[in-house]
Structure 1
């Protein structure tokens, strides 16, 4: 008697029949060396340490993912994480996914118990009740859509002369209100200004710029900002200030047309000045400041750094408040530690050795020769003048996992004048409206999986660019020469640069 095969369960992964990745991964331990990020080689995805030049985050890099869940690649802990920091990671992750309205978790809310300590902490006005709602799978905001409410983005605002908060919105438009009778402050896309750029070889590229509509009063000055992915932040924080400052050339001493200046920012709690490194204009000097700023502006949640709701509205005495804050010092630390310990995916520039007849995952279907060619061209057109390929972290970060790592963020963390095409109307710290921090490029190629599809990926600060080519063509100011060199390349070479960037 012949028995029929057992039915395959829908939850089984396609390739290896293993479990869900969630926030864990397979480890490779090399005797006498330690844990090493790895990839699978022939004949059966056998584990092999990745070469150092593929480790964008040094030994904190994430190994290649074979779980068929590439959407989770931005949610993994550093490969070299220790036991104590694993506990910090999972505790902070829980808070990042928790609703400050009702305490529910964003995932498996029927299985995960309610985090009762955080019920009712959401501000009177807010954009989203959880951090993860704006950072899709730890990635970016939802894409711009005509007429849709843009409540996963931030719209920073200022008064008419730029010296203080907007009289209606404060420092950021908070589009939701707990009081149903509160005024509507929705922001949406009313239309797109469209232009067509014709490249020297005849290819036409459509560029779109969103025109925003405000249900409340139109702010005198504002800046639209999409949420950025939150990978590798601890590694960037571990880069010494001297390393960042050494790359600055405010007077263009070398005559290459590229300056680069640091945004020096004041810690609102200590009053100390630091080199800014986080945010689209490098306006935050630490992960802690970035977290506290997002809590108060996007969720209306107070913390020891911004202890009163008046901080969002520019109140001069907001730091003198002594009443308990929504988030305690311990909880602010939890979230800071979580963001410090998220891994950076290793560069996917190597072919994996899948068994014969097994489907090759899209994330691993790469062309190493084209990627290598694109890397060379990226340097030849001088993109690396701002997108610095390699840095080394210092030896003073509190977490040993992040110290003395050779990393490849493809950013100098400096401000550059990108010309009038990308300028808005809002200064931030010492950054004027046309200056933007060089965005780190690591993780760029994983966005299509993290965001759910290529169509959901948006680049640049306000999410206007739908493709890498569009993003490059918006570059002006100090980047004009590099953009012109890129435009002059044959299409095959431009495609090679895109393949290289998609491997990061």
Structure 2
């Protein structure tokens, strides 16, 4: 590459703006860092290296397992460090959005007209549209300024706006309003706010020395709050009816460049790939001297305030409170502390999670987002759904099963017998029922609920609760072994993967040495990639060793989509040679890693246990309409009745996971990751390694209170492994076995305490 020497340093030479636009318009340059798909100008995904955080082989410990990530595991991206003089440097990823964080579908004091568009993912979000800020904070080093550098993950931003410091001095500020508005003005672009991938960082920089939240402005000090809201634009086509001027570069308001066209289909679209061209971003809170912090809104106008530590269920990954009326989308957000390059990994993996392996379309904006043509026609001979998101509604659970409808959004595990803790595959179904035949070449295998057996549970105070248990019918032969399981929510998986094995093993008490009646057991499972034993972490019976294991097995069992972990369709049939030499898998190794990265970096919503500072007269969003006193009482009852004997409230992740975002986090998942005997009423007929038919992993409770939003209403949320429970009360009353004594304590509580406990769970 040619270089220019300026002020004693060398740097890459960039094409002039007009030359760049001309080449883009002629199709002679491709975009950088795209999603690996088929939009015009996309290219290889960022960092598609052979191994980005894949667990390898290791030495078996005395407890019989090989650690997923041993000491010395390298991280993929640094997030924060201190320079020699104490200057704090933070690297934060930002994704584009359609609107602002506090902007509803209507004005603040107007009647409800629906959700906002802050948590949505705009079209083409997976390419040329992620960015990051490098924040160089000199205040803890005794300095007086903060420098912020913008980094583009792909392509160029042909216009940047940077809004900082919410204007709290103005009582009329509502949806948005900032004290400081500027741009990243580039000296190599005549001072215009243009930023390019891999340019010298000082070419897109701002710096400031004052706190603009005060009047008058005051010197920056440790603890000051700075809202960060970058906005970016891409060069786009503009309609021009004069054919002589078609293709002529236009400059619009010193903000972004456009290029004239006479084609109405191009008008307003980004030149680089045909997608959208103007975006906002996630609004983040930076605390001087500390770093990025999840936030909530306080009085008088939902001003930004760091959330209390005890609400951060996912530690620093926790998702800030949402004020755009979008609780149904909260499970889909990246970790609050996500890095710059890791955010690009996240969106590329998300694209695959939403892609149809039948026709390559995206589940969102299917007529606008580019077709992922590499994955057209990759469904296997049988399948349940054609894309991952179809079973995990809004990244939550399966849709509620209706009587008579096929259970094609759930797992129906099958077998004929057990052999050393593993199922022998059924001759018709294999290891699970795949309801639909691809191409109509075979019969469908419908499994459905034909009725519910009900019982009436009467509590000591006379309260009666109806419990129901599903009864299943098979269109084909009924297997000797079966287990029906709903798809779980997918948040927080990376944090659970980051828990040290020693932490999980130390909580086990198979012989009940402390005499509390709780006999937790950790599962030992076989890693499909290495063949070595690992501690089981995922699945209702902890039968999967890692996120990669969980994702690859779901691709195979639910869609018959091959991967490097399960390269043959015969893997679903339990074939002994299923990992032997095969052709290229449907999902490449790089793509499987991206899918794993996406699932690893999904954030966990913060607990909604504190009251937000809505102004008087404004409708309080239903998810934030909480009574902190009742919630605190419910938390105390949850603990005193013994629920935390299994639903362990607080754990600490280790320091070896490839994602720094997940390291050394204090988390509140409410699980011990262990298997417990839950009694005959919840038993199936399937053993999974050490998990006997009545044994189930303690499910994490984070997000359980949000399911009524992700699933489309409280009447559509379902609980327990098979979705039999319609309410949290029903779920508790089904507890038996090791949990029976705790359940009886719950039943004996005054009605107000039972309600408080449920109210507490609703905030998780």
> TM-score w.r.t. structure 2 length?
0.64
Q: CA deviation at 1:115?
A: 0.5
Equivalent position to 1:13, from 97, 105, 115? 105
Asked if 1 retains the 8 angstrom alpha-carbon contact of 2:328 and 2:711, the reply is yes
- Counterpart check, 1:192 vs 2:449: no
Q: CA deviation at 1:322?
A: 2.7
Cross-structure match for 1:325: 585
Q: CA deviation at 1:18?
A: 6.7
Cross-structure match for 1:447: 707
Please give the alpha-carbon distance, in whole angstroms, between the structure 2 residues aligned to 1:132 and 1:493.
37
Asked if 1 retains the 8 angstrom alpha-carbon contact of 2:318 and 2:603, the reply is yes
Where does 1:184-263 land on structure 2 (aligned, <5 Å)? Answer: 184-263=444-523
In terms of fraction of residues, the more helix-rich structure is 1
Q: CA deviation at 1:14?
A: 3.1
Residue 416 of structure 1 aligns to a residue whose secondary structure is strand
Please give the alpha-carbon distance, in whole angstroms, between the structure 1 residues aligned to 2:748 and 2:730.
15
Cross-structure match for 2:120: 22
Equivalent position to 1:66, from 313, 323, 326? 323
Please give the alpha-carbon distance, in whole angstroms, between the structure 2 residues aligned to 1:428 and 1:264.
10
In terms of fraction of residues, the more strand-rich structure is 2
Asked if 2 retains the 8 angstrom alpha-carbon contact of 1:14 and 1:68, the reply is no
Please give the alpha-carbon distance, in whole angstroms, between the structure 2 residues aligned to 1:69 and 1:56.
19
- Counterpart check, 1:437 vs 2:694: no
- Counterpart check, 1:120 vs 2:120: no
Greater mean alpha carbon deviation, residues 333-342 or residues 269-278: 269-278
Q: CA deviation at 1:440?
A: 0.2
Where structure 1 has 5 or more consecutive residues not aligned to the other structure, the ranges are 1-10
Where does 1:246-395 land on structure 2 (aligned, <5 Å)? Answer: 246-395=506-655
Equivalent position to 1:76, from 324, 333, 336? 333
Asked if 2 retains the 8 angstrom alpha-carbon contact of 1:370 and 1:500, the reply is yes
- Counterpart check, 1:135 vs 2:392: yes
Asked if 1 retains the 8 angstrom alpha-carbon contact of 2:104 and 2:323, the reply is no
Where does 1:125-164 land on structure 2 (aligned, <5 Å)? Answer: 125-161=382-418, 163-164=423-424
Residue 320 of structure 1 aligns to a residue whose secondary structure is coil
Greater mean alpha carbon deviation, residues 318-327 or residues 396-405: 318-327
> TM-score w.r.t. structure 1 length?
0.96
1:330-350 Cα offsets, whole Å, 9 max, x none, are: 010010000000000000000
Please give the alpha-carbon distance, in whole angstroms, between the structure 2 residues aligned to 1:475 and 1:363.
27
Where does 1:80-99 land on structure 2 (aligned, <5 Å)? Answer: 80-99=337-356
Please give the alpha-carbon distance, in whole angstroms, between the structure 1 residues aligned to 2:570 and 2:405.
29
Q: CA deviation at 1:160?
A: 3.6
Asked if 1 retains the 8 angstrom alpha-carbon contact of 2:544 and 2:550, the reply is yes
Highest Rg: 1 or 2?
2
- Counterpart check, 1:111 vs 2:373: no
1:383-429 Cα offsets, whole Å, 9 max, x none, are: 00000000000000000111000000000000000000000101112
Equivalent position to 1:170, from 430, 433, 439? 430
Higher RCO, Cα 8 Å, sep 6+ = 1
With over 3 angstroms needed to count, the CA separation of the structure-2 counterparts of 1:160 and 1:18, relative to structure 1, is: closer
Where structure 2 has 5 or more consecutive residues not aligned to the other structure, the ranges are 1-102, 109-114, 122-280
Q: CA deviation at 1:132?
A: 0.2
Cross-structure match for 1:501: 761
Q: CA deviation at 1:15?
A: 5.2
Q: CA deviation at 1:96?
A: 0.1
Equivalent position to 2:734, from 470, 474, 479? 474
Asked if 2 retains the 8 angstrom alpha-carbon contact of 1:13 and 1:20, the reply is no
Please give the alpha-carbon distance, in whole angstroms, between the structure 1 residues aligned to 2:118 and 2:527.
40
Please give the alpha-carbon distance, in whole angstroms, between the structure 2 residues aligned to 1:320 and 1:269.
12
Asked if 1 retains the 8 angstrom alpha-carbon contact of 2:675 and 2:691, the reply is yes
Cross-structure match for 1:35: 292
Please give the alpha-carbon distance, in whole angstroms, between the structure 2 residues aligned to 1:468 and 1:18.
29
Asked if 2 retains the 8 angstrom alpha-carbon contact of 1:395 and 1:404, the reply is yes
Equivalent position to 1:47, from 304, 322, 346? 304
1:351-401 Cα offsets, whole Å, 9 max, x none, are: 000111110000000010000000000001000000000000000000011
Please give the alpha-carbon distance, in whole angstroms, between the structure 2 residues aligned to 1:263 and 1:19.
42
Asked if 2 retains the 8 angstrom alpha-carbon contact of 1:15 and 1:67, the reply is no
Please give the alpha-carbon distance, in whole angstroms, between the structure 1 residues aligned to 2:401 and 2:562.
29
With over 3 angstroms needed to count, the CA separation of the structure-2 counterparts of 1:19 and 1:136, relative to structure 1, is: closer
